[in-house]
Structure 1
Amino acid sequence: MNEPVDVLIIGAGASGAAVAWSLADTRMHILCLEQGDWMNPAKYPSAGRDWEARFYGDYSPSPNIRARAEDYPVNDDNSPIKVLNFNGVGGSTIMYTAHFPRLHPSDFRVRTLDGVADDWPIDYDMLAPFFAENDRMMGVSGLAGDPASPLTAPPMPPQPLGRSGARLAKAMNKLGWHWWPSDTTVATTDYEGRARCINLGHCTPACAQGAKASTDITYWPAALRAGVELRTHCRVREITTNEHGMASGVVYYDKDGIEQFQPAEVVVIACNGVGTPRLLLNSASSRFPDGLANSSGLVGKNLMFHPYAQLYGYVDEPTDSNRAPPTCLWSKEFYETDPARGFVRGYAFQFGRGIGPVMEAVTSEAKGLLPWGADHHAVFRRLNGHRLGLAAICEDLPEEHNRVTLDPVLKDSHGIPAPRVDYTIGENSAKMLEHGIARGREILAAAGATDICVNRPILYGGWHLLGTARMGTDPTRSVVNEWGRSHDVKNLFIVDGSVFVTSGGVNPTSTIQAIALYVADQMKPRLANLFD
């Protein structure tokens, strides 16, 4: 048996790293268990010429395709959107695009404003100081003063718009619609030991330069210096409880596959909106027969993905292709509810630069734009490096039938039941997708693009895993309280995207980390009373 620790954190990704760093100033013995390992940037795809090919293999965002030893399989056959994640120190921040918006104030008051879903028990103003702290720690680049988004003061200037961004911005001006340079966690200047972006390529398969902020190079070095312990290749099977119904520690498999027990006074889960309900459901016992912290019956339910509508077309002049970070501007023109549209809530547009030649060949052939035969090379030259793209990221409302359960057959390499995802796109989201597609066509047409193609929803678009252990003040309608503590198990906390009550229409990483910092701040004055 391992020596007991004061706080045990499960998962070293976006939220686990943030909560570990924040709690370090308590001088408690804090241990984080991560089922992956430290990553070696020298081996990232962007360090070589085959980066696009590896996106379909060992650096696919899908764990089912990637199938590394550190991954667990996901049965997402019954979903039009496939689950994407990454296991390792840094978690999915290794693979994300570094797009860094915040939830809007209205996103916390959906029930009050629109009569659907539920209001959060916290609001934007409560998180504002933690958003700012996280922006500093992650190193955000952007432009202050956006009239349609929460105001930010990024410590670095924004990414250049480039050829693609400038053309799309002019199209938005032509239509009279909002746009703004997007906040990102890609360094535009040297920042706290990180070198600025040198445009190695698309950010998604990991940044060999270290310009993109992933928590293995931002939060974790600071947390380790402050005394936090991080143990890799530790796959947690279940959270154990004692005779008082309190969390007593975890059972995990170490790097040699040996079962270990790690006792702890406090347990914090940071495993994402699929991994967290999987762990809670697999921690069922005689006292908690339906899964740990699940007296409400809501663990695993209300899964929200963010359906994406992707559009792209081609222009005569060269665009940026895969050079520079992909998301250079956003639009919140259609973010807030307008009853005239026939749906509630809204979506954001994310504007991309383009893609590399391999992806261009694969996708344009699939859409029937690239023929085989005598014209193949001439057509490819017309398409490659001439793409303009955008995506509408649509708010997903919580619906209990969208859920994560334990698969009765599929297991990971240690025999732990894999998560099963059952998900359908709701009526409101479907209407929103169609509205976004129609407006996206107008934008591309205004930019002079032809051969416009649409993907709805993006199949491998399940980047955002939210809502499966929701936050609330009513124990019958939520899993954790307003400061992340389980209603059922008083020394168990959740800090990842599973606590989201509603999803908003933006990428969630900034908000996830702000919530983790907020929860840590709420824990500190209450540590002495956690067992009351």
Structure 2
Amino acid sequence: MTDTTASTGPGSTPDDGRDTDDGRDTADVLVIGAGAAGAAVVWSLARRGLDVVCLEQGDWVPQDQIPKNHADWEVRGRHYWNPSPGKRRGPADYPVTNLGENPVDVYMYSAVGGSAIGYGAHFWRFEPSDFKARTLDGFGVDWPIDYEDLVPYYELNEKMMGMSGSGGDPVQPGRPEVPLPPIPIGRQGERWIDGFDKLGWYWWTQSQALLSEDYKGRPACVNRGFCAFGCPSGALALPSNTYWPEALEAGARLRTNARVREVTVDDDGNATGAIYYDADGRLREVRATTVVISGNGVGTPRLLLMSKSARFPNGLANSSGQVGRNFMPHVQTMVIGHFLEPTDADHGAWGGTVSSRHFYETDPENDYVRGFTMVAMRGYSPLNTALATAPWGDGHHEALEHHVNHEATIWVCGDDEPEEHNRVELDEVNLDDFGLPGVTTYYTLSENSKRLGEDGVRKATELARAAGADSVRTTGFDSILGWHLLGTARMGDDPTNSVVDANNRAHDVPNLYIVDGSSFSTGGAVNPTHTIQALALRAADKIWEAFDAR
């Protein structure tokens, strides 16, 4: 087991000179999961003087493991860096099986920084309407909080991460300024703008957790591209190079390679801590006054369902039966346009050039409710392009030359209604290396999602053609991109149909907080990382207020 207090380089590996594992197995607050949410909670509470310990199933990512530090980065990206645990099968992973009519290719990493170590850094706020979709459109459920409740936490998170973009977005209220100017959009970005303008559709430069200028000791982006394969310089904002260094400096304790078996409770139903396997396979226990679970929309319901007891026979905090239900990975696909001129696919951030919420809100003329975002991006990497467009045999090289660096992508992300049949369950057959159950996900697109997604593809195809594409292909919806894992321990006022309250505190367990994408009531139609972190910062304030009131 490693218990560290500092990190180095671009924030990927711990400082080897400061080990504070003093054997203490008690804390004020125990946080399970060191990803985007867990890091924000730990930072917020540690800097106030609380004794916080965090258990992370994975480890720090060493510099020599970042694919973009190697010439064969694309090959590495399909093996140990593969975002799908079922394909990666690393030592920190557990089995994940994906079923349903539209199975989700679940993407998640177990590491310090969580799944954000392999993300594209899109950094959106939700819209006010996202919190009241039931009231406005009869869609899903309303959140028990409003957009205004998160505004100060959005602002704080944008400064902590170092967000680049343009202020004054007309569809985003109360956001006149952005910490850093936008990342250069390149000539492909200009083509996308031309396409939007021809169609008369609103667009805006993409906000990204990526540095356009040097910031807080981190260097500006040097446009090496394909950010999800790792950022050698540290320009890409990760929990490991933003929140964690400051949290560790404030005295937080981080224990890596710590695989949690269960959250423990006392006879009164209060959480008392967790039992976990350390790096040597020894069973250990941490006891804490307050417990926070930040394991993502798959890992969190897994741990809750594993934490059965006489008091909670159906899983911890699951009197509603909603733990694992309402799984929302978003309605996602890619529309890829081919251009006669080079698209400079490898120049600049993969995460986006310009984007549009033109079709975000419900239009009564549509045969579906809610809407989608279109993010106009650069093209795919050479190997991924080859595998999709250039089969082996005669014509392979000709096909590859035709497509590589001549394609650009529009990512379509649609709102996904919470439905109980879309779910995460324990898999008692496929076990991890410690004999703990894996998970099975079940997902089927609703009729509303199908119609919404089909319209998203039509509109993105229009945009590609208007921008000058001479042909268009799409990745479809047969298998759903599983980048966003939401809704499986959702927030609500009613304990009979939700798992946590408006402060992310479990209805059934007064000192247990669930703080990650699983708490989303609905998912909006944008990348959730920014909102996950804003919720985490707000939940940390609520935890602190509870301590301060004692």
TM-score of the superposition, structure 2-length normalised?
0.93
Aligned counterpart, 2:152: 129
1:277-316 aligned at under 5 Å gives the runs: 277-316=301-340
1:364 aligned partner: 389
Instruction: Tell me which residue corresponds to 2:139.
Output: 116
1:196/1:211 contact within 8 Å kept = yes
Q: Which residue of 1 aligns with 2:16?
A: none
Distance 2:173 2:423 in 1: 31
The amino acid that maps onto 2:99 is: D
Encode CA deviations 1:214-266: one digit per residue, 9 max, x unaligned: 00000000001111111111010100101111111101000011111111111
1:184 matches 2:199:
no
* Residue matched to 2:84: 62
1:98 aligns with 2:121: yes
SS at match of 1:158: coil
Query: How far is 1:450 from its partner?
Result: 2.1
**Does the CA contact (< 8 Å) of 1:41 and 1:207 recur in 2?**
no
The answer to whether the 8 Å contact 2:380/2:408 transfers is no
Alignment match, 1:338: 363
Whether the 8 Å contact between 2:103 and 2:442 is mirrored in structure 1 is no
CA distance in 2, matches of 1:357, 1:240: 48
> Quick one: structure 1 residues 512 and 269, their matched pair in 2 at CA, closer, same or farther if it must change by over 3 Å?
same
- Residue 525 of structure 1 and its aligned partner are, at CA, apart by 1.7
The whole-number CA distance in structure 2 between the counterparts of 1:301 and 1:523 is 26
Task: Tell me, yes or no, if the aligned pair for 1:308 and 1:458 is still in contact at 8 Å.
Answer: no
Give a deviation string over 1:119-147, Cα, whole Å, max 9, x none. Answer: 11100001000000000001100011111
Count of matched residue pairs: 525
Asked if structure 1 preserves the Cα contact closer than 8 Å seen for 2:500 and 2:519, the reply is yes
8 Å CA contact 1:111–1:117 kept in 2: the answer is: yes
| Cα deviation, residue 457, structure 1 | 2.1
| SS at 2:227 equivalent | coil
CA deviation after TM superposition for structure 1 residue 529, in Å: 5.7
Following superposition, the deviation at residue 42 of structure 1 comes to 3.5
The alignment status of 1:44 with 2:71, answered yes or no, reads no
Match of 2:447 in 1: 427
**Letter paired with 1:342:** D
Q: Tell me, yes or no, if the aligned pair for 1:310 and 1:458 is still in contact at 8 Å.
A: no
Deviates more, 1:82-91 or 1:450-459: 450-459
Q: Which residue of 1 aligns with 2:495?
A: 475
State how far apart, in whole Å, the 2-side matches of 1:126 and 1:168 are. 34
Give the 3-state SS of the residue equivalent to 2:450 in structure 1.
helix
Identity over aligned pairs, percent? 47
- 2:170 corresponds to 1:147: yes
Q: Distance in 1 between the 2:399 and 2:275 partners?
A: 57
Q: What amino acid does structure 1 have at the position aligned with 2:109?
A: F
Shift of 1:150: 4.1
Q: Is the 8 A contact 1:299 1:468 kept in 2?
A: yes
Alignment of 1:162 onto 2:182: no
* Aligned counterpart, 2:433: 413
Match of 2:463 in 1: 443
Q: 1:77 aligns with which of 89, 93, 99?
A: 99
What is the match of residue 253 of structure 2? 229
- Please say which of residues 62-71 and 270-279 is displaced more in the overlay: 62-71
Name the structure 2 match of 1:484.
504
Give the match for residue 401 of structure 1.
421
Question: Counterpart of 2:388 in structure 1: which amino acid?
Answer: T
Residues 322-364 of structure 1, C-alpha deviations (whole Å, 9 max, x = no match): 2211112111010011011111110000111012221111111
Matched, 1:263 2:287: yes
Post-superposition CA distance 1:433-452 (Å, at most 9, x none): 10011111111111221231
Once the 2 structures are TM-superposed, how far is the Cα of residue 185 of structure 1 from its aligned partner?
A: 0.6
Task: Give the match for residue 30 of structure 1.
Answer: 52
Q: Which residue of 2 aligns with 1:10?
A: 32
List gaps (5 residues or longer) in structure 2: 1-22
Q: Where in structure 2 are the equivalents of 1:451-466 lying within 5 Å? A: 451-457=471-477, 459=479, 461-466=481-486
Contact 2:165 2:183 in 1 (8 A): yes
Deviation digits for residues 150-188 of structure 1 (CA, Å, limit 9, x no counterpart) = 443221110111121111110110000011111001111
The equivalent of 1:253 in structure 2 is 277
> d(CA) in 1 for partners of 2:220 and 2:497?
45
2:376 pairs with one of 351, 365, 369? 351
Deviation at residue 382 of structure 1 after TM alignment: 2.3
Q: CA RMSD in A?
A: 1.4
Alignment CA distance shift 1:444-1:245 (3 Å): same
Checking the alignment, whether the CA contact within 8 Å between 1:293 and 1:488 is kept in structure 2 is yes
Of stretches 63-72 and 145-154 in structure 1, the one that deviates more from structure 2 is 145-154
